[in-house]
Amino acid sequence: MDNTSRWRARVVDGLSTRLWPLPALGVLLGTIAGVLLPTVDSGQLSGWPRTLIFEGDASAARSVLSAIASSLVSAATLTFSLTVVAFQLASSQASPRLLRQFSQDRAVQLTLAIFLGTFAFALTLLRSVHGDVVPRFSVTVACLMTLICVVVLVMFLGHVASLLRLETMMRDVHETTNRTIDVVCSQAKDADPREVPHPQDGQFVAVVEAEDSGFVTEMRRSALIERAKELGVVFRELHPVGDSVIAGTPLLQWWSTQPHTPADPDRAARVAEAGRAAVVLGYERTGVADVGFGLRQLVDVCIRALSPGVNDPTTAVHALSHITAVLGSLVVLPEQPAVLADEDGRPRLVVRVHDIRDLLRLGFEQPRHYGSGDPQVAERLLTACWELAWIAQDTHHLPAIQEETRRTLDAVRAQQPGPERSREYDELAGRVFALAEAAGGPPALRG
């Protein structure tokens, strides 16, 4: 992903996950329209179009515009209140990490933008009504915009009702995660086959410590490679995107490309400055380049549904279907480059790639822990393992899927299901082991 694409992705994510940009734009456009539109002369209209133009006097125009402005403030307040209620319900019923999905919902942002834009237009237009001067065409436009706002309000109420459904939340998370996977896939098209470099005897090795705490939201690898070339060092990433970093702990490792290079405090300071500038930390995880964030959100929904206070295994099964689909997209990704080189072909950055074993554990470990005693959930977990094994049978990820299948089978057996259920579980797990054996895996794992 080049610098331009990365910058664009960060800007889009930053603007889309905040409620204010589109409403602010609506206010600005409404104000501009309220200043410029009264200059349109409606006096030359004739025939039936003339009958559509506002025909009241200045007093009537002021009353209409005042009513529009006051009513739209109330409508905007109602919209915002409903949005806050949706936030609260999403946080309590599903996961606090789903609030980003609500705040970046385009329907919510556009509704607020239309309401506030119409309000700003009507309020600005009031200044053009004085004496016998009545901007009839502009007042007519304000009335039409108000009717549009009424239609938008009705549609918004229906949209909020849909937005609060867990199926809608999980679908939105799934789609966002798929877009993130596409970004990762674009970075992994040309995996670098070169051997991973390691510091040799006599090379100066040090670490860059984090100045702040937070989550790794981006690795500016192009800048890091450029600075590594200037300083004559090799960097090693110690944290993948999405990992939590604590201030004062190692952020990056680096070593000099020249052996027996003495420690230089000035050089070490410049390397540390370059390393900290390349690792972007944020107070929350984002979906720009973090493939594990969508899985984390879906797993949160799953285990919340399995909690004793909710006890909704059907939702947990649906969440596991989304988790399996996301993992299925990940296991077929081309291998990410482990080493990035400069323009001269010299290794400059050892990349911390996402490990499929960690992602499988993230997707299955907690649902397995909390739901292995429920027949529906246990069956869905083992079915998910078979589905992933089928998708990944032409890849090198089958051993990791085998391992998760073995853990899941042990967990459901520990719940002491009946003989019939035990046979069903063994059969589902046996399908995974059979695929692995056909692909050259060890038959002993079939147990």
Per run of 10 residues, the mean pLDDT along the chain (length 447 residues) is 50 62 86 84 53 79 92 85 75 75 79 92 90 85 92 87 84 90 68 66 83 91 91 92 94 84 80 92 85 92 91 94 95 84 88 89 96 95 96 89 95 92 93 83 47
39 by Cβ neighbours in 10 Å (0-12 / 13-18 / 19+) ranks as exposed
> What are the distances in angstroms from CA 55 to CA 41, 66, 146?
14, 17, 17
- The whole-angstrom separation of Cα 334 and Cα 188 is 6
Using the 3D structure, point to which of 357, 389, 411 is the last residue of a domain.
357
CB 293 within 8 A of CB 173: no
Strand ranges in 143-278 using DSSP code E only, listed in sequence order: 205-209, 214-219, 233-237, 244-245, 250-256
74 and 192 in one domain? Answer: no
* Residue 408: predicted pLDDT: 96
CA-to-CA dists, residue 166 to 30, 93, 156, 161, 365, angstroms: 36, 9, 18, 11, 22
Residue in 365, 352, 357, 443 with CA at minimum distance from that of residue 396 = 357
Same domain, 213 and 273: yes
CA distance 433 to 150: 59
Establish if 153 belongs to a structural domain: yes
Residue 192 and residue 331 share a domain: yes
Q: Measuring CA to CA, which residue among 149, 25, 153, 166 is closest to residue 86?
A: 166
Q: Are residues 192 and 328 in the same domain?
A: yes
**What 8-state DSSP symbol labels residue 195?**
P
Last residue of a domain, one of 164, 188, 220: 164
Domain range enclosing 385: 372-447
Please indicate, yes or no, whether residues 194 and 242 belong to a single structural domain of this protein.
Answer: yes
**314 lies in the same domain as 389:** no
CATH of the domain at 180: 3.90.1170.30
pLDDT at 358: 93
Residue 365, in any domain of the structure = no
121 plus 209 within the same structural domain? no
State the pLDDT at residue 13. Answer: 57
Same domain, 72 and 203: no
Is 362 part of any domain? no
Q: Is the Cβ–Cβ distance between 353 and 346 less than 8 Å?
A: no
In a domain, 363, yes or no: no
Confidence at residue 202, expressed as pLDDT on a 0 to 100 scale: 64
Number of domains in the chain: 3
- Environment class of residue 59 by beta-carbon count within 10 Å: exposed (0-12), middle (13-18) or buried (19+)? exposed
What local confidence, expressed as pLDDT, does residue 447 receive?
41
Q: Which helix (H) or strand (E) holds 350?
A: strand 347-350
Predicted pLDDT at 319: 96
pLDDT in the model for residue 17: 62
DSSP 348-377: EEE--PPPHHHHHHHHHHHHHHHHTTSHHH
pLDDT of residue 42: 53
The amino acid that residue 374 corresponds to is D
Q: Are residues 16 and 152 in the same domain?
A: yes
Place of tokens 């309220």: 34
Q: Please check whether residue 366 lies inside any domain of the structure.
A: no
Both 24 and 62 in one domain: the answer is: yes
Of 115, 134, 164, the domain-final residue = 164
Task: Please indicate, yes or no, whether residues 305 and 321 belong to a single structural domain of this protein.
Answer: yes
58 shares its domain with 197: no
